[in-house]
């Protein structure tokens, strides 16, 4: 080949004297490239209808690159396309018709992103990245619904709408899982090939040991201990209320002790985080309306949640109702009352009559607490209040563990890489317990540590506080289904 196309449109310097002079053949190649430019066919699939990523958000990105070193997928791959800045550029390109929304690279990047929001927390320009990603995923999903086979659409529907859309169904499924676990049938399920058939090997490996007793919101009311400071609406959650039900019960006890009357209205439902992150904002809106309505009727002062992932979604309900002024106003009022349980307890102050736990604890920061809600000190402050407990920081404590909602199902490879990285960082502290504040992280870090061969336990901050109160009261620990007290 005697002519080399070099991709530029007849640049003047090519003909200009002095250094950097290019040959005539190269200049001709420039012209050829210019012709290629003219041949470019605009993208066939673009954003449309509702939930279009907003140009006033992506145009705020000044491409400074500060987000890159904070992005888990960038840190792992070191490829610009897998960075927040790269993904924002791709979203902008689709919006401007220069890239097809269903091009493999775009679909992959929108899926590979963890939605951990680490980029958002450091962005000097205030780009609300989550508000670009979730609509972009929603756009892709709407388009793919027509292309996906009926079976895959049905499985997706089951997972996102039936399982997470209805807490009763969640409890039935969890009870089945509980039964399988108690009868020791996991190995059989694994071997039968059923797991592989459903593409859920990792999910089954990660499946928590389900609590014996579920937390079911049935309009209960628990009295405050001592002088009452507030009435709080406890959001029991879905995974939390079944797999980690004892954390919900512990949350009730710790809140009571902090002077809160605790309500668990039956009308509450799933927060919608899983559906919104997976790119189904329509389903997310229905779930949001149910919770807003339940809270307004409850008369509680605050809406308290012990799962960071749910908390960040609950605090961002306004974003779901951009095109609906009435619900938007209600959603904004609602979100202003939402508090993560650690944030809330740190604000109102806890009963400091805590029992001694001689142990070393490291803290894994849930992305949706540290990045999405910018809560870093509250959980640490609470942990430091426990006498005897030493808090040691791990490396990269705020780098995503790879759990990220259903990410470990959609992106198993990257999820595992991040899980191993997290487990190594946690294990390197030599702590005997890893505290966190989100069920997804709890499962993921536990699985990672197990794979590392570490015996470190993983507990919610609230569980440690609850244990400390029990020790103060000299009450024996209740038989928990997992049996991983920090003091072990």
Partner 1 sequence: MLHSAPLPARLLDELRRILPRPGAVLDAREDLMVYGYDGTWYEGFPQVVAIPDSAEQIAQIVQLANRERLAVTPRAMGSSLSGGPVPLRGGIVLDTKRMNRILEIDEVNFLAVVQPGVINADLQAAVERRGLFYPPDPSSMRQSAIGGNVAENAGGSRCLKYGVTSDYVMGLQVVLPTGAIIRTGGKMVKNVTGYNLRALFTGAEGTLGVITEATLRLLRKPPFSLTAMAVFASIADAARCVTEIMSAGLTPCALEMMDDVTMACVEEMFHLGLPVEREAILLVAVDGGQRELVEAEMEAVSGLARAAGAVEVRVAADAAESSALWQARRGISPALARKRPNKLGEDVSIPRSEIPRMVRAVRAIASKYALTIPLFGHVGDGNLHPNILCDRHDAAELERVGAAAREIFEAAVACGGTLSGEHGIGLLKKQFIELDLGSEQVEAMRRIKAALDPNGIMNPGKIFPEPGGVGAFKL
Q: Site residues (CB under 8 A) for partner 1?
A: 1, 4-9, 11-14, 16, 18-23, 25-26, 30, 32-33, 36-37, 39-40, 59-60, 62-69, 77-81, 83, 85-86, 89-90, 93, 98-99, 103-106, 109, 124-126
User: Of 56 and 326, which has the nearer Cβ to partner 1?
Assistant: 56
What token pair was written down for 177? 């899982």
Closest Cα to residue 217, out of 314, 291, 313, 310? 291
Closest by Cα among 47, 39, 2 to 137 = 47
**CB of residue 416 to partner 1, shortest distance in Å:** 17
Distance of CA 96 to the CA centre of its chain: 29
Q: Which two tokens stand for residue 268?
A: 């509450």
Q: How far is the CB of 423 from partner 1 (least distance, A)?
A: 22
**Max CA separation in the chain (angstroms):** 89
Q: How far is the CB of 110 from partner 1 (least distance, A)?
A: 11
Q: Which is nearer to partner 1, 26 or 381 (CB)?
A: 26
User: Which CB, 86 or 269, lies closer to partner 1?
Assistant: 86
SS3 435: strand
* CB closer to partner 1, 83 vs 364: 83
Complex with partner 1: residue 99 or 434, whichever CB lies closer: 99
What are the backbone dihedrals phi and psi of residue 142, each rounded to the nearest 5 degrees, phi first? Answer: -60, -45
C-beta of residue 189 within 8 angstroms of C-beta of residue 204: yes
Least distance from partner 1 to the Cβ atom of residue 13, Å: 6
* 100 or 248: CB nearest partner 1: 100
Q: How far is the CB of 230 from partner 1 (least distance, A)?
A: 27
d(CA 384, CA 304): 22
Least distance to partner 1, CB of residue 16, Å? 6
* Residue 52 C-beta-side C-alpha neighbours within 13 Å: 13
Tell me the closest approach of the beta carbon of residue 136 to partner 1, in angstroms: 13
Tokens of 285: 């809106």
> Reduced to 3 states, what is the DSSP secondary structure of residue 232?
strand
Calpha distance 444→434 (Å, rounded)? 12
- Residues 109 and 86: beta-carbon distance below 8 Å: yes
């Amino acid at each position: 080949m005697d002519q080399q196309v070099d991709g530029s449109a007849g640049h003047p310097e090519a003909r200009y004297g002095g250094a950097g002079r290019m040959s005539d053949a190269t200049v001709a190649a420039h012209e050829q490239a210019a012709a290629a430019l003219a041949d470019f066919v605009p993208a066939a699939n673009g954003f449309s209808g509702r939930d279009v990523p907003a140009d006033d958000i992506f145009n705020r990105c000044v491409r400074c690159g500060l987000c890159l070193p904070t992005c888990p997928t960038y840190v792992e791959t070191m490829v610009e396309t897998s960075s927040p800045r790269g993904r924002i550029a791709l979203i902008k390109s689709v919006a401007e018709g220069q890239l097809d929304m269903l091009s493999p690279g775009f679909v992959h990047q929108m899926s590979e992103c963890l939605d951990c929001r680490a980029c958002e927390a450091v962005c000097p320009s205030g780009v609300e990245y989550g508000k670009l990603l979730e609509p972009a995923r929603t756009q892709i999903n709407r388009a793919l619904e027509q292309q996906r086979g009926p079976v895959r659409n049905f499985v997706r529907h089951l997972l996102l709408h039936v399982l997470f859309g209805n807490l009763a169904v969640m409890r039935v499924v969890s009870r089945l899982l509980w039964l399988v676990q108690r009868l020791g049938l996991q190995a059989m399920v694994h071997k039968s090939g059923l797991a592989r058939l459903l593409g859920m090997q990792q999910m089954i490996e990660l499946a928590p040991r389900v609590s014996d007793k579920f937390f079911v919101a049935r309009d209960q009311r628990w009295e405050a201990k001592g002088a009452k400071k507030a009435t709080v609406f406890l959001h029991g959650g879905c995974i939390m209320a079944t797999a980690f039900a004892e954390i919900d019960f512990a949350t009730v006890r710790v809140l009571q002790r902090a002077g809160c009357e605790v309500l668990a209205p039956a009308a509450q439902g799933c927060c919608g985080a899983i559906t919104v992150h997976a790119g189904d904002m329509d389903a997310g809106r229905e779930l949001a309306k149910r919770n807003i309505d339940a809270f307004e009727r409850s008369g509680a002062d605050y809406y308290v949640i012990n799962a960071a992932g749910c908390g960040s979604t609950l605090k961002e309900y306004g974003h779901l109702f951009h095109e609906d002024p009435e619900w938007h106003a209600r959603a904004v009022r609602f979100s202003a009352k939402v508090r993560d349980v650690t944030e809330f307890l740190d604000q109102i102050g806890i009963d400091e009559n805590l029992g001694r736990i001689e142990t070393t604890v490291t803290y894994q920061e849930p992305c949706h607490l540290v990045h999405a809600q910018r809560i870093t000190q509250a959980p640490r402050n609470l942990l430091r209040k426990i006498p005897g407990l030493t808090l040691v920081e791990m490396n990269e404590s705020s780098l995503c563990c790879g759990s990220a909602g259903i990410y470990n199902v959609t992106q198993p490879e990257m999820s595992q890489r991040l899980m191993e990285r997290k487990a190594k960082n946690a294990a390197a502290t030599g702590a005997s317990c890893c505290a966190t504040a989100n069920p997804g992280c709890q499962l993921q870090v536990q699985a990672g540590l197990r794979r590392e061969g570490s015996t470190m336990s993983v507990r919610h901050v609230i569980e440690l506080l609850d244990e400390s109160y029990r020790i103060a009261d000299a009450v024996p620990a209740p038989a928990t289904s997992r049996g991983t007290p920090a003091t072990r």
